[in-house]
Amino acid sequence: MKLFWRCFSVLHRLFDIILHGLFRLAYAGRKEQLPPISNLLLLQSATSLAAKIRKKKLKSVDLVNVYIQRIKEVNPFLNAAVHFRFDQALNEAQKADEIVAKGAKTEEELEKEMPFLGVPISVKELIAVEGLPLSGGLVSRKDARSPFNAQTVQLMRSAGAIPLVTTNISELGMWYESYNKVYGRTSNAYDTSRTCGGSSGGEGSLLGAAGSVMGIGSDIGGSIRIPAFFNGIFGHKPSPEVVSNYGTYPPSCEREFVPYLSLGPMCRYATDLAPMLSVLAGKGAAMLHLELPVKLKELKVYYIEDFGNHVVCTKVENDMIKALYKVLHHFTNAYKVTPTKLNLPALRHAYPMWAEAIRACRAPAFSEELTERKGGKIDFRAELVKWLLGKSPFTYPAVLLGAIEGTVFDGSGKHLTRLKDLKLQLQELLGEDGILFVPPHPTVAPHHNEPLFKPFNFSYTGIFNVLGFPVTQCPLGIGNEGLPLGVQVAAAPGCDRLTLAVAVELEKVFGGWVCPSAVME
């Protein structure tokens, strides 16, 4: 039997190689170059821009106009932003400038009370922004508008940030390519023939293209980290129950669902991660002690090259492993830390552990979400025929997921037991001073539709949702295919400050975000 699975694994790897080659041929010559950056304000962090506004060295109105212009330049290539509030944003920017001009508060007071005063922000479409559509990518909800702000959006607005656009998603946020029948498909910031990832793919794409400086995403299986990786930016999935899920669609405040879904920051500059998380967490930030310094030389460093099980997942590419080892060598050389390689056989079952944990949370089934929880059932066999004829209001991944939902596992609970044991093992290893480096995905960003043939590769991110560990995705330059490389940094629950500190370090050493278009002098 072992020989059989070994042979099947080899065949699967051969299939992956041939498939990727066919997609490369199919998309040859279809890559488009983004317009060059003509304003250097686009190359500054959100915290530095906010400081300039407080010091009266920059007007919020001017900054917002710069980002409006950039969005208009790149969005025709990417289809990343789907709804716009430019006029409202300019009015809010004017009010921000008036607050600074009045001088009623000192710079220090403004920094404490409104750390992002006057800085624009983008928001994933399934996170509520007052007055803007909140469809979740469902055709039946394309005209539904939110009468309120999600708590995360309201907290950022109270901190002075100005929502500028909402960005594209996968249908109901349950696929890792951002495509739906309401808004269409979003492309990668570095190569328009490649996927931007999902479900926060519009955020990743717009941020990667310098069309936004910071954004809010959500993550239940890698929906922040995969788009962040594919588009060369930073993204953080916080510890569970720190950031509120209130104000998303589908509604996600069921108590059982809270540990697995996290809203969190996405940005081009690592220095913005902790300030954003501090705001997004609200009162929950006190649990994270983000203000405490992190001594990198005192960290325990672990790493994993590959989850194995190449029957299900693609083998991690050499480019990705080389990037991982550059990080490990840096910690060895700079901090005299000896990284420890982990061999965790349980990770071969990462996908079934994720799937059983999600199913066990007793949230509404995906098929119920497709009908907006209004009752009734979808005949997925008939829906597949309609999809083949181009008549279905749903995407193929949604139809497929609805059809197979609840039919994959035996219900024995063995994967939940395995997950519990793995969590205890990793928590004991990491403690309060350990970090774990893991590839965010086996390959760089695939071509459009290629993930349909590699659906379980998201397991490299999804496992950390059900483990409940905070994770930061960090860019590590550009690989041989001209696409971003990256690494995940995980820590034990509540130890977000460790992964955020490592992100800042990696940005200093490896350069962080790399602009995908030319910069005009």
pLDDT in tens, 191-202: 999 999 999 999
d(CA 416, CA 13): 28
Residue 463 has pLDDT above 80, yes or no: yes
Amino acid (1-letter code) at residue 57: K
Q: Return the axis-axis angle of helices 60-78 and 86-102, rounded to nearest 10°.
A: 160
Report if pTM > 0.75: yes
What does the pLDDT look like over 421-438, one tens digit per residue?
999 999 999 999 999 999
Sequence-distant (6+) residues with CB within 8 A of 101 are 56
Q: Which pLDDT belongs to residue 79?
A: 98
Tell me what pLDDT residue 411 has. Answer: 64
Amino acid 93 reads A
Per-residue pLDDT of 260-278, as tens digits, reads 999 999 999 999 999 999 9
Residue 521 has pLDDT above 70, yes or no: no
Average pLDDT over every residue of 444-459: 96
pLDDT of residue 436: 98
3-state secondary structure of 362: coil
pLDDT score of 289: 96
Most confident of 30-34, 188-192, 251-255, 357-361: 188-192
Give pLDDT, residue 256. 47
For range 151-173, the mean pLDDT? 98
Q: What is the dihedral of CA 235, 484, 167, 263, to 10 degrees?
A: -20
Phi/psi region, residue 411 (left: phi>0; alpha: psi -120 to 50; beta: rest), is left
Residue 6: predicted pLDDT: 76
Check residue 378 and give its pLDDT: 82
Q: What is the Cα–Cα distance from 253 to 258, expressed in whole angstroms?
A: 6
Q: What is the pLDDT of residue 253?
A: 61
The gap from C-alpha 254 to its chain's centroid, in whole angstroms, comes to 22
Q: Whole-number mean pLDDT of the chain?
A: 94
Q: Give 388's Cβ-side CA count (13 Å radius).
A: 7
When comparing pLDDT for 125 and 258, which is higher?
125
Residues carrying an active site annotation? 124, 199, 223
**CA torsion angle 134 273 86 157 (round to 10):** 70
| pLDDT given for residue 403 in this prediction | 81
Cα 256–257–260 angle (5° rounding)?
125
Q: Average of pLDDT values for 440-445?
A: 98
Confidence of residue 348 (pLDDT cuts 50, 70, 90): very high
Residues 205-264 have pLDDT tens digits of 999 999 999 999 999 999 999 999 999 999 999 999 999 999 999 987 655 456 899 999
Assigned token pair, 323:
């990037």
pLDDT on residue 414:
93
- Residue 365 scores a pLDDT above 90: no
Task: Take residue 515 and report the two structure tokens written for it.
Answer: 């602009």
Give the pLDDT score at 413. 87
